[in-house]
Structure 1
């Protein structure tokens, strides 16, 4: 009977960030949604420290399960969690995120109208005083504006704030586990979802706060890895559609670099623009690094 009441399974991959995981779980305790209506599945992706003491602190407050796997990346970790999920819908977030108290309530309202769609919410920067974290978030905001609003059909959600029917996740085979990094696997899943004719709905009222503290070096590494993921994504998409290897038009990059100057931000727009240039250099470097280390991959 208890399983029949579960509307949501919240799945959180985690790796070597026990303090961030604790903060994430604290935010889930504060969810306004009836706690009998959701479960939380934490998937430890081979952390070097035990997460049991962290999880044990919340066992009495949440319907909480801890799973473990050898270090294999977040894509496989999410699939591992989904395989054990009992909820009608899967709601994905990350260990460095804090869902708003009405997160599940607003997701439930959306699913009440569109129960066979993927719902993606808005991610907000929880570290506005950090220049690099702010730049990273402004970049995500630009991507969401480009891919999910205006004349473009909704086509991209980051995996830290998306939800979908559990049975359709299994039909598609989950995230592509050949993506070893937290880079590109969410974009590939969204593209595959659309390729199979399913609908995506952007719900900007569904909020998750992202607290990813960055430095210049970690900002560079993040976008270098995004470039690696982008190569893998474009390769998978070209194979799936049997078409040419396609990238975005030049207007996409021009508007990207000028976007920070037109936005209100806690950091100077010119600094954000400079970091956007850095991000694109890192992205291109990662893209071609991945290309050169996979000589068997061919452009169609």
Structure 2
């Protein structure tokens, strides 16, 4: 039985998944001690053939299911795991060589890793070049991640009530029993949006402890063109599910932060009576606004 498993949901990301699996071949962590569970969420591309290519090189399980969204796919992945600790990544994210080693811990902690980003127009022709980014110090982050990491100090700790805003399901880990105790991801979220935030919010409120930012748990997102025409509409539909589930003041204020109407500091001030005593507030000079 593996001690730590990596759950990777995938929908049609054929070439990005191949790059990701290549990066798991030279992990510093013992290959016999981790398992990769790829959950094919009803892809129309031949994802199974990619996994078959690695079946003799990695401890890998391929599962195909009907299209139900990433929340359901991640939950199916966890249901096939017997490991103590679970790492969540995505098919279009490739890990640093010590990715699993850094996520592995005996502590019951919710780790959020460092999300970096590269762009490649021809993934199939640039696999080696893409993987070489693991040896470079030059990188970029999406604006949201850069903003949210301000909540945490140099040790990855925070006194904020908003650490759940850093729930990046493409690079995070926690103990399987903690995941299962709060019911996993909410499968009412079918599309891209707020399902990861909702999970982090539920974790924070159930266990009463903030998430931890592990800046040495690194993976790279292979950026791709995204259809932005209905992005706002998808966000609002996803947010509606979140709001109807809780209807709490924190969630009612969330949409104003996400659409840049209030700063991260103002959001904290609205929900935290200890605002003026918070270390992260004292250590942050300028107002932090998110832009969609």
TM-score (norm 1): 0.73
CA RMSD of superposed structures (Å): 2.8
Question: Shift of residue 138 of structure 1?
Answer: 1.3
Moved segments of 4+, more than 3 Å: 146-151, 219-224, 248-256
What is the distance in 1 between the residues matched to 2:67 and 2:21?
22
Question: Shift of residue 254 of structure 1?
Answer: 5.4
Question: Shift of residue 128 of structure 1?
Answer: 8.9
CA contact (8 A) 2:242 2:251 kept: no
What is the distance in 2 between the residues matched to 1:100 and 1:244?
35
Q: 1:27 to 1:223 in 2, by over 3 A?
A: farther
What is the distance in 2 between the residues matched to 1:97 and 1:70?
23
Indicate whether 1:229 and 2:238 are aligned: yes
Question: Shift of residue 41 of structure 1?
Answer: 0.3
Question: In the alignment, which of 154, 168, 180 is matched to residue 158 of structure 1?
Answer: 168
CA contact (8 A) 1:74 1:181 kept: yes
Question: Shift of residue 236 of structure 1?
Answer: 2.0
What is the match of residue 220 of structure 2?
209
Written as runs of structure 1 = structure 2, the 5 A alignment for 1:199-278 is 199=209, 200-214=211-225, 218-238=227-247, 246-248=252-254, 253=261, 255=263
What is the match of residue 290 of structure 1?
none
Question: In the alignment, which of 127, 134, 150 is matched to residue 145 of structure 1?
Answer: 150
What is the distance in 1 between the residues matched to 2:202 and 2:79?
19
For the residue of structure 1 that corresponds to 2:253, the secondary structure is coil
Question: In the alignment, which of 3, 12, 15 is matched to residue 11 of structure 2?
Answer: 15
TM-score (norm 2): 0.74
Indicate whether 1:171 and 2:176 are aligned: no
For the residue of structure 1 that corresponds to 2:216, the secondary structure is strand
CA contact (8 A) 2:120 2:223 kept: no
Flag structure 2 segments of 5+ consecutive residues without an equivalent: 122-138, 265-288
Question: In the alignment, which of 92, 109, 117 is matched to residue 125 of structure 1?
Answer: 117
What is the match of residue 20 of structure 2?
24
For the residue of structure 2 that corresponds to 1:196, the secondary structure is helix
Aligned length: 243
Flag structure 1 segments of 5+ consecutive residues without an equivalent: 257-272, 280-300
What is the distance in 2 between the residues matched to 1:17 and 1:29?
19
What is the match of residue 60 of structure 1?
56
**Structure with greater helix share of residues:** 1
